[in-house]
Structure 1
Protein backbone atom coordinates (compact mmCIF):
# COMPACT_ATOMS: atom_id res chain seq x y z
CA UNK A 1 0.00 0.00 0.00
CA UNK A 2 1.29 3.39 -0.97
CA UNK A 3 0.15 6.89 -0.01
CA UNK A 4 -1.29 7.29 -3.53
CA UNK A 5 -3.68 4.40 -2.75
CA UNK A 6 -5.32 6.34 0.11
CA UNK A 7 -8.31 7.77 -1.82
CA UNK A 8 -9.52 4.26 -2.71
CA UNK A 9 -8.37 2.71 0.58
CA UNK A 10 -10.32 5.35 2.49
CA UNK A 11 -13.41 4.73 0.36
CA UNK A 12 -13.26 1.01 1.15
CA UNK A 13 -12.71 1.87 4.82
CA UNK A 14 -15.81 4.09 4.72
CA UNK A 15 -17.82 1.17 3.29
CA UNK A 16 -16.67 -0.92 6.24
CA UNK A 17 -17.66 1.77 8.72
CA UNK A 18 -21.08 2.00 7.06
CA UNK A 19 -21.76 -1.71 7.69
CA UNK A 20 -21.84 -1.04 11.43
CA UNK A 21 -20.06 -4.36 12.10
CA UNK A 22 -16.49 -3.71 10.96
CA UNK A 23 -15.12 -1.11 13.37
CA UNK A 24 -16.00 1.19 16.23
CA UNK A 25 -14.59 4.08 14.21
CA UNK A 26 -17.23 6.51 13.02
CA UNK A 27 -15.20 8.52 10.52
CA UNK A 28 -12.38 7.81 8.13
CA UNK A 29 -9.25 9.55 9.43
CA UNK A 30 -6.92 11.65 7.33
CA UNK A 31 -4.14 9.74 5.64
CA UNK A 32 -1.64 11.35 8.02
CA UNK A 33 -3.53 10.12 11.10
CA UNK A 34 -4.07 6.65 9.61
CA UNK A 35 -0.41 6.43 8.59
CA UNK A 36 0.78 7.42 12.07
CA UNK A 37 -1.32 4.67 13.66
CA UNK A 38 -0.18 1.82 11.41
CA UNK A 39 3.13 0.08 10.88
CA UNK A 40 5.15 1.31 7.92
CA UNK A 41 5.68 -2.27 6.78
CA UNK A 42 2.98 -4.94 6.49
CA UNK A 43 0.57 -2.93 4.33
CA UNK A 44 -1.05 -4.55 1.32
CA UNK A 45 -3.67 -3.83 -1.29
CA UNK A 46 -5.49 -6.22 -3.60
CA UNK A 47 -6.35 -5.27 -7.15
CA UNK A 48 -8.55 -6.76 -9.81
CA UNK A 49 -8.47 -5.48 -13.39
CA UNK A 50 -6.28 -2.58 -12.17
CA UNK A 51 -8.89 -1.54 -9.57
CA UNK A 52 -8.01 -1.54 -5.87
CA UNK A 53 -10.59 -3.79 -4.18
CA UNK A 54 -9.19 -4.46 -0.71
CA UNK A 55 -6.50 -3.62 1.79
CA UNK A 56 -4.86 -5.00 4.90
CA UNK A 57 -2.45 -3.43 7.38
CA UNK A 58 -1.03 -3.90 10.85
CA UNK A 59 -0.94 -1.51 13.77
CA UNK A 60 1.06 -1.88 16.98
CA UNK A 61 -0.89 -3.00 20.05
CA UNK A 62 1.38 -1.19 22.48
CA UNK A 63 4.33 1.18 22.56
CA UNK A 64 6.00 -1.01 25.20
CA UNK A 65 9.03 -2.80 23.77
CA UNK A 66 7.97 -6.20 25.18
CA UNK A 67 5.00 -6.13 22.77
CA UNK A 68 7.13 -5.16 19.78
CA UNK A 69 6.25 -8.41 17.98
CA UNK A 70 2.51 -8.14 18.52
CA UNK A 71 0.31 -6.33 16.01
CA UNK A 72 -3.38 -5.85 15.27
CA UNK A 73 -4.90 -6.70 11.91
CA UNK A 74 -7.07 -4.38 9.84
CA UNK A 75 -8.58 -5.87 6.70
CA UNK A 76 -11.27 -4.37 4.49
CA UNK A 77 -12.73 -5.52 1.18
CA UNK A 78 -14.73 -3.34 -1.21
CA UNK A 79 -18.44 -4.12 -1.04
CA UNK A 80 -18.52 -5.25 -4.68
CA UNK A 81 -15.58 -7.64 -4.16
CA UNK A 82 -16.65 -9.51 -1.01
CA UNK A 83 -17.02 -13.28 -1.14
CA UNK A 84 -14.37 -13.77 -3.83
CA UNK A 85 -11.50 -14.91 -1.61
CA UNK A 86 -9.74 -11.54 -1.68
CA UNK A 87 -9.72 -11.31 2.11
CA UNK A 88 -8.06 -14.70 2.42
CA UNK A 89 -5.35 -13.74 -0.07
CA UNK A 90 -4.69 -10.47 1.73
CA UNK A 91 -4.63 -12.03 5.19
CA UNK A 92 -2.33 -14.86 4.09
CA UNK A 93 0.08 -12.31 2.57
CA UNK A 94 -0.12 -10.15 5.69
CA UNK A 95 0.77 -13.19 7.84
CA UNK A 96 3.82 -13.99 5.68
CA UNK A 97 4.93 -10.37 5.71
CA UNK A 98 4.43 -10.09 9.47
CA UNK A 99 6.65 -13.11 10.08
CA UNK A 100 9.28 -11.75 7.66
CA UNK A 101 9.27 -8.60 9.81
CA UNK A 102 9.56 -10.41 13.16
CA UNK A 103 5.98 -10.33 14.43
CA UNK A 104 5.10 -13.37 16.52
CA UNK A 105 1.49 -12.61 17.35
CA UNK A 106 -1.32 -11.09 15.30
CA UNK A 107 -4.60 -10.20 16.92
CA UNK A 108 -7.98 -9.02 15.71
CA UNK A 109 -10.99 -7.61 17.48
CA UNK A 110 -14.09 -8.59 15.53
CA UNK A 111 -17.78 -7.89 16.05
CA UNK A 112 -19.63 -11.19 16.63
CA UNK A 113 -22.08 -10.19 13.88
CA UNK A 114 -19.23 -10.05 11.35
CA UNK A 115 -19.37 -13.78 10.68
CA UNK A 116 -17.42 -13.55 7.40
CA UNK A 117 -14.46 -11.89 9.14
CA UNK A 118 -14.52 -14.39 12.01
CA UNK A 119 -14.58 -17.30 9.54
CA UNK A 120 -11.75 -15.74 7.50
CA UNK A 121 -9.53 -15.38 10.55
CA UNK A 122 -10.26 -18.93 11.77
CA UNK A 123 -9.47 -20.27 8.28
CA UNK A 124 -6.13 -18.44 8.39
CA UNK A 125 -5.07 -19.96 11.72
CA UNK A 126 -6.46 -17.52 14.27
CA UNK A 127 -8.13 -18.83 17.43
CA UNK A 128 -10.88 -17.29 19.50
CA UNK A 129 -9.40 -16.20 22.84
CA UNK A 130 -12.52 -14.73 24.34
CA UNK A 131 -15.24 -12.14 24.17
CA UNK A 132 -14.90 -8.64 25.50
CA UNK A 133 -18.45 -7.96 26.61
CA UNK A 134 -19.93 -4.54 25.89
CA UNK A 135 -16.41 -3.20 25.27
CA UNK A 136 -17.49 -0.08 23.40
CA UNK A 137 -20.45 1.72 21.90
CA UNK A 138 -21.41 2.00 18.27
CA UNK A 139 -22.07 5.42 16.76
CA UNK A 140 -25.74 4.81 17.63
CA UNK A 141 -24.82 4.42 21.32
CA UNK A 142 -25.37 0.65 21.43
CA UNK A 143 -22.97 -1.35 23.59
CA UNK A 144 -21.37 -4.14 21.55
CA UNK A 145 -19.27 -7.21 22.32
CA UNK A 146 -15.99 -7.79 20.52
CA UNK A 147 -14.35 -11.14 19.88
CA UNK A 148 -10.60 -11.32 20.44
CA UNK A 149 -8.85 -13.59 17.94
CA UNK A 150 -5.15 -14.35 17.86
CA UNK A 151 -2.66 -16.07 15.59
CA UNK A 152 0.65 -17.12 17.05
CA UNK A 153 3.49 -17.65 14.55
CA UNK A 154 4.92 -21.13 14.32
CA UNK A 155 8.28 -19.77 13.15
CA UNK A 156 8.84 -16.52 15.09
CA UNK A 157 9.20 -16.45 18.88
CA UNK A 158 9.52 -20.20 19.39
Structure 2
Protein backbone atom coordinates (compact mmCIF):
# COMPACT_ATOMS: atom_id res chain seq x y z
CA UNK A 1 0.00 0.00 0.00
CA UNK A 2 1.55 3.26 -1.12
CA UNK A 3 1.24 6.13 1.33
CA UNK A 4 1.74 9.71 0.19
CA UNK A 5 2.33 12.47 2.73
CA UNK A 6 1.31 16.04 1.89
CA UNK A 7 0.71 19.25 3.75
CA UNK A 8 -2.60 19.42 5.58
CA UNK A 9 -4.89 22.11 4.22
CA UNK A 10 -8.33 23.43 5.08
CA UNK A 11 -9.81 21.12 2.44
CA UNK A 12 -8.59 18.10 4.47
CA UNK A 13 -10.53 19.18 7.57
CA UNK A 14 -13.56 16.94 7.01
CA UNK A 15 -11.38 13.82 6.90
CA UNK A 16 -9.05 15.00 9.67
CA UNK A 17 -11.95 15.76 11.99
CA UNK A 18 -13.41 12.26 11.43
CA UNK A 19 -10.07 10.64 12.25
CA UNK A 20 -9.75 12.84 15.34
CA UNK A 21 -13.25 11.81 16.39
CA UNK A 22 -12.19 8.15 16.12
CA UNK A 23 -9.25 8.96 18.39
CA UNK A 24 -11.52 10.61 20.94
CA UNK A 25 -13.77 7.52 20.90
CA UNK A 26 -10.87 5.25 21.94
CA UNK A 27 -10.67 6.99 25.30
CA UNK A 28 -6.86 6.76 25.25
CA UNK A 29 -5.79 9.21 22.55
CA UNK A 30 -6.70 12.60 24.04
CA UNK A 31 -8.37 14.20 27.03
CA UNK A 32 -10.55 16.16 24.61
CA UNK A 33 -14.15 14.96 24.43
CA UNK A 34 -15.38 16.87 21.37
CA UNK A 35 -14.00 17.70 17.96
CA UNK A 36 -13.41 21.44 17.70
CA UNK A 37 -14.44 23.43 14.65
CA UNK A 38 -11.85 24.27 12.00
CA UNK A 39 -11.18 27.76 13.34
CA UNK A 40 -10.39 26.45 16.84
CA UNK A 41 -8.28 23.59 15.50
CA UNK A 42 -6.41 25.83 13.07
CA UNK A 43 -5.51 28.26 15.86
CA UNK A 44 -4.08 25.47 18.03
CA UNK A 45 -1.61 23.85 15.61
CA UNK A 46 1.58 25.23 14.06
CA UNK A 47 0.82 25.88 10.40
CA UNK A 48 4.31 24.98 9.11
CA UNK A 49 4.17 21.45 10.54
CA UNK A 50 0.88 19.84 9.52
CA UNK A 51 0.66 16.73 7.37
CA UNK A 52 -1.87 14.20 6.16
CA UNK A 53 -1.22 10.71 4.85
CA UNK A 54 -3.09 9.61 1.74
CA UNK A 55 -3.77 6.13 0.43
CA UNK A 56 -4.87 6.69 -3.14
CA UNK A 57 -6.89 9.88 -2.59
CA UNK A 58 -8.21 9.07 0.89
CA UNK A 59 -6.87 10.90 3.97
CA UNK A 60 -5.97 8.10 6.40
CA UNK A 61 -3.99 9.94 9.07
CA UNK A 62 -2.52 13.23 10.18
CA UNK A 63 0.36 14.60 12.23
CA UNK A 64 0.70 18.09 13.67
CA UNK A 65 2.68 20.14 16.17
CA UNK A 66 1.40 22.51 18.82
CA UNK A 67 3.39 25.03 20.83
CA UNK A 68 4.03 24.07 24.44
CA UNK A 69 4.34 27.68 25.55
CA UNK A 70 3.95 31.22 24.26
CA UNK A 71 7.21 32.21 25.96
CA UNK A 72 10.01 33.02 23.54
CA UNK A 73 12.52 30.69 25.25
CA UNK A 74 10.33 27.70 24.29
CA UNK A 75 9.79 28.66 20.64
CA UNK A 76 11.74 25.55 19.56
CA UNK A 77 9.73 23.11 21.70
CA UNK A 78 6.51 21.57 20.41
CA UNK A 79 4.09 18.79 21.24
CA UNK A 80 3.44 16.06 18.69
CA UNK A 81 0.02 14.68 17.75
CA UNK A 82 -0.32 11.71 15.38
CA UNK A 83 -3.63 10.08 14.47
CA UNK A 84 -4.37 7.24 12.06
CA UNK A 85 -7.79 6.10 10.91
CA UNK A 86 -8.91 2.88 12.60
CA UNK A 87 -9.29 1.31 9.17
CA UNK A 88 -5.59 1.83 8.36
CA UNK A 89 -3.84 1.12 11.67
CA UNK A 90 -1.00 -1.38 11.48
CA UNK A 91 0.21 -0.20 8.06
CA UNK A 92 3.13 1.99 9.26
CA UNK A 93 1.20 5.17 8.44
CA UNK A 94 1.85 6.65 11.88
CA UNK A 95 5.57 5.98 11.45
CA UNK A 96 5.60 7.59 8.00
CA UNK A 97 3.80 10.66 9.33
CA UNK A 98 5.93 11.00 12.47
CA UNK A 99 9.20 10.70 10.54
CA UNK A 100 8.05 13.41 8.14
CA UNK A 101 6.94 15.60 11.04
CA UNK A 102 10.34 15.21 12.74
CA UNK A 103 12.15 16.15 9.53
CA UNK A 104 9.94 19.20 8.97
CA UNK A 105 10.23 20.26 12.62
CA UNK A 106 14.01 20.51 12.27
CA UNK A 107 13.69 22.55 9.09
CA UNK A 108 11.51 24.91 11.16
CA UNK A 109 14.09 25.03 13.99
CA UNK A 110 12.33 22.94 16.61
CA UNK A 111 14.97 21.38 18.86
CA UNK A 112 12.67 19.42 21.16
CA UNK A 113 9.53 17.48 20.38
CA UNK A 114 7.48 16.06 23.20
CA UNK A 115 4.57 13.69 23.47
CA UNK A 116 2.22 13.00 26.36
CA UNK A 117 0.68 9.60 25.72
CA UNK A 118 -1.86 7.68 27.75
CA UNK A 119 -0.04 4.78 29.43
CA UNK A 120 -2.63 2.41 27.95
CA UNK A 121 -1.79 3.55 24.41
CA UNK A 122 1.06 1.07 23.94
CA UNK A 123 1.03 1.33 20.12
CA UNK A 124 1.61 5.09 20.26
CA UNK A 125 4.33 4.80 22.90
CA UNK A 126 6.13 2.18 20.79
CA UNK A 127 5.76 4.32 17.65
CA UNK A 128 7.42 7.28 19.33
CA UNK A 129 10.24 5.13 20.76
CA UNK A 130 10.84 3.67 17.29
CA UNK A 131 11.09 7.21 15.87
CA UNK A 132 13.80 8.37 18.28
CA UNK A 133 11.81 9.60 21.26
CA UNK A 134 12.88 8.60 24.76
CA UNK A 135 10.81 8.10 27.87
CA UNK A 136 11.39 10.99 30.26
CA UNK A 137 8.93 9.80 32.89
CA UNK A 138 5.39 8.88 33.75
CA UNK A 139 3.05 11.61 34.87
CA UNK A 140 0.73 9.88 37.33
CA UNK A 141 -2.92 10.87 37.52
CA UNK A 142 -2.23 13.81 35.22
CA UNK A 143 -5.82 14.18 34.05
CA UNK A 144 -9.35 12.89 34.33
CA UNK A 145 -11.54 11.64 31.55
CA UNK A 146 -15.13 10.61 32.25
CA UNK A 147 -14.38 10.48 35.99
CA UNK A 148 -11.29 8.26 35.69
CA UNK A 149 -7.73 9.38 36.37
CA UNK A 150 -5.11 8.56 33.76
CA UNK A 151 -1.33 8.41 33.71
CA UNK A 152 0.64 9.69 30.72
CA UNK A 153 4.01 8.54 29.47
CA UNK A 154 6.02 11.68 28.78
CA UNK A 155 8.43 11.28 25.87
CA UNK A 156 10.76 13.64 24.07
CA UNK A 157 13.01 13.75 21.06
CA UNK A 158 15.95 16.12 20.89
CA UNK A 159 17.18 17.24 17.51
CA UNK A 160 20.69 16.20 16.58
CA UNK A 161 20.76 19.01 14.00
CA UNK A 162 19.70 21.96 16.15
CA UNK A 163 21.51 22.79 19.40
- 1:28 Cα offset (Å): 0.5
The alignment status of 1:19 with 2:19, answered yes or no, reads no
In the alignment, the residues of structure 2 paired with residue 154 and residue 76 of structure 1 have an alpha-carbon distance, to the nearest angstrom, of 25
Corresponding residue number in structure 2 for 1:48: 55
Q: Which secondary structure does the structure 1 equivalent of 2:64 belong to?
A: strand
Any residues of structure 2 matched to 1:75-86 within 5 Å, and which? 75-86=82-93
Corresponding residue number in structure 1 for 2:70: 63
Corresponding residue number in structure 2 for 1:120: 127
Corresponding residue number in structure 2 for 1:102: 109
TM-score by length of 1: 0.98
- Structure 1 segments, 4+ long, off by >3 Å, are none
List gaps (5 residues or longer) in structure 2: 1-7
RMSD between aligned residues: 0.4
List gaps (5 residues or longer) in structure 1: none
- 1:50 Cα offset (Å): 0.8
In the alignment, the residues of structure 1 paired with residue 10 and residue 121 of structure 2 have an alpha-carbon distance, to the nearest angstrom, of 28
Q: Which secondary structure does the structure 1 equivalent of 2:102 belong to?
A: helix
- 1:49 Cα offset (Å): 1.4
Deviations along 1:87-146, whole A, 9 cap, x unmatched?
0000000000000000000000000110000000000000000011101101x2101001
The alignment status of 1:7 with 2:14, answered yes or no, reads yes
Deviations along 1:8-46, whole A, 9 cap, x unmatched?
000000000000010000000011001101101110000
Match of 2:152 among 138, 143, 146: 146
- Give aligned pairs, total: 156
In the alignment, the residues of structure 2 paired with residue 69 and residue 134 of structure 1 have an alpha-carbon distance, to the nearest angstrom, of 27
